[in-house]
Amino acid sequence: MKFRTPAYVGLTLFAFAGALYVARTPSVAAQSKATAPIFEVDPYWPKPLPNHWVQGSTIGLSVDAQDHVWVIHRPQTVEDNFKAADLKVGDLPIGVCCAVAPPVLEFDPAGNLVGHWGGPGEGYEWPESNHGITVDSKGSVWIGGNGNTDTQILKFDKKGKFLLQLGHQGKHNGSNDLENFWRPAKIVEDPTANEVYIADGYGNRRIIVLDRDTGKYKRHWGAYGKKPDDAKISSEVQDKFSQDSGLGAKQLSVKADGGVVTLSGTVDNDAQREAAGKQAASIAGVKTVINNLEVSNVGKPSAIAEMAPPAATPVASAPADNAPAPSTSKAMKLTTPIE
């Protein structure tokens, strides 16, 4: 006796097989969907530097329109045992390897060193501590610094020719100073607007925008798009004191003006007085601390009685009045008032 499979059973099995095929086969849309790029470290890039050169702490990187990679490093961070060729006894180096490379290094896409320059020179003030490098769309190289006396930014061409200095090293007057910066960390270009944005926040509290070609001031702002207010330093110093078990319960007065903080009130001993001065000096934006705190138990012995702290704690020293003026004949002054 023969059994015939009903037609609807065959259709059902075919449909089921088709559903399995569709479920197991990625759709065309899924196959063409973009995925995130995968980055892998190339341990052989860049190629070894010539002349037995070594780098210090790398503190900035920029890629130009030709895909050349620009790096800036801090030569002073190279330890002595890595720079024997730079150390001499008399006129002779103490070793063959190694020597510190120039601060600015340019590599082609293959990792070959194709350019190098940088350091102190005539007509400009090189940063105390390099920080950040930017190559703009016109091929100019911008450099900042975050040392305590780094209150300027520099502009060079790709060969290291000096073009422009903005600001005067060691001089700053708070976050609304239109002539100087304070520890500018990074420079970013807006090529469509012909502007550069300066992240001036290590010492000051602002973003400042300049004309890319002339360096002329355009505008600046602080937190939440508002005018920077260095008076906030007072509250930050008070917050710092509140975290100290010895100072938190004291009624101490803190006044800030242009980066100068004045402390007044009464503490229990010299150790608290010194601690208050150091804590105030640690706040970003503070240049000098005038410590007028009085010690209440003067008659009692103090652990550091023989180490009376000075009345002022300098944070960023300015050049002496009789010191020669820095060479900034080509520096641009920023004098346009705040918009």
Q: Does a structural domain hold residue 18?
A: no
pLDDT (0 to 100) of residue 245? 76
Average pLDDT over the chain, rounded to an integer = 81
pLDDT (0 to 100) of residue 30? 52
Tally of residues, the chain: 339
Task: Look at the pTM and tell me if it is higher than 0.75.
Answer: no
Q: Does a structural domain hold residue 21?
A: no
101 shares its domain with 240? no
pLDDT (0 to 100) of residue 17? 42
Q: Is the pLDDT of residue 62 over 60?
A: yes
The pLDDT tens digits for 135-184 are 999 999 999 999 889 999 999 999 999 999 999 999 888 889 999 999 99
289 shares its domain with 191? no
59 shares its domain with 190? yes
213 shares its domain with 239? no
Q: Does a structural domain hold residue 336?
A: no
252 shares its domain with 130? no
Distance between CA atoms of residues 256 and 289, nearest Å: 9
Q: Is the pLDDT of residue 338 over 60?
A: no
pLDDT (0 to 100) of residue 204? 86
Q: Does a structural domain hold residue 266?
A: yes
CATH number at residue 296: 3.30.1340
Domain range spanning residue 204?
A: 53-227
Q: Is the pLDDT of residue 218 over 90?
A: yes
Distance of CA 127 to the CA centre of its chain: 12
96 shares its domain with 174? yes
Query: What are the two backbone dihedrals, phi and then psi, of residue 168, each rounded to the nearest 5 degrees?
Result: -125, 125
Higher-pLDDT residue of 103 and 287 is 103
70 shares its domain with 153? yes
pLDDT (0 to 100) of residue 1? 46
The pLDDT tens digits for 32-59 are 678 898 999 999 999 999 999 999 999 9
121 shares its domain with 237? no
Distance between CA atoms of residues 339 and 335, nearest Å: 12
pLDDT (0 to 100) of residue 319? 46
Q: Does a structural domain hold residue 138?
A: yes
Pick the range with the lowest mean pLDDT from 91-100, 102-111, 181-190, 316-325.
316-325
Segment 279-308 shows an average pLDDT of 70
pLDDT (0 to 100) of residue 172? 84
pLDDT (0 to 100) of residue 99? 95
Q: Is the pLDDT of residue 301 over 70?
A: no
Q: Does a structural domain hold residue 22?
A: no
214 shares its domain with 65? yes
pLDDT band at 193 (very low <50, low <70, confident <90, very high): very high
pLDDT (0 to 100) of residue 317? 45
Distances in whole angstroms, Cα of residue 137 to Cα of each of 65, 162, 188, 194, 195: 7, 17, 11, 10, 11
Segment 255-279 shows an average pLDDT of 86
In sequence order, what DSSP letters do the residues of 21-55 get, joined into one string? HHHHSPPHHHHH----------TT-SPPPSTTEE-
Q: Which residues of 184-219 are buried (b: 16+ CB within 10 A; e: fewer)?
A: bbbbebeeeeebbbbbbbbbbbbbbbbebeebebbe
Pick the range with the lowest mean pLDDT from 3-7, 28-32, 47-51, 271-275.
3-7
110 shares its domain with 243? no
Domain endpoint, select from 227, 261, 293: 227
pLDDT (0 to 100) of residue 25? 47
How many structural domains are present in the chain?
A: 2
pLDDT (0 to 100) of residue 313? 53
Distance between CA atoms of residues 59 and 66, nearest Å: 21
Q: Is the pLDDT of residue 12 over 70?
A: no
Distances in whole angstroms, Cα of residue 95 to Cα of each of 40, 61, 80, 154: 36, 31, 11, 34
pLDDT (0 to 100) of residue 241? 86
76 shares its domain with 150? yes
Q: Which residues of 55-73 are buried (b: 16+ CB within 10 A; e: fewer)?
A: bbeebbebebeeebbbbbb
Q: Residue 134, Cβ neighbours under 10 Å: how many?
A: 23
pLDDT band at 5 (very low <50, low <70, confident <90, very high): very low
The pLDDT tens digits for 239-251 are 888 888 778 767 7
Higher-pLDDT residue of 36 and 301 is 36
Q: In the numeric block, which tokens belong to residue 128?
A: 């105390």
Q: Does a structural domain hold residue 43?
A: no
Instruction: Identify which of 21-30, 200-209, 300-309 has the greatest average pLDDT.
Output: 200-209
pLDDT (0 to 100) of residue 258? 65
Assess contact for 67 and 109: CB atoms under 8 A.
Answer: yes
Segment 242-271 shows an average pLDDT of 82
Q: Does a structural domain hold residue 12?
A: no
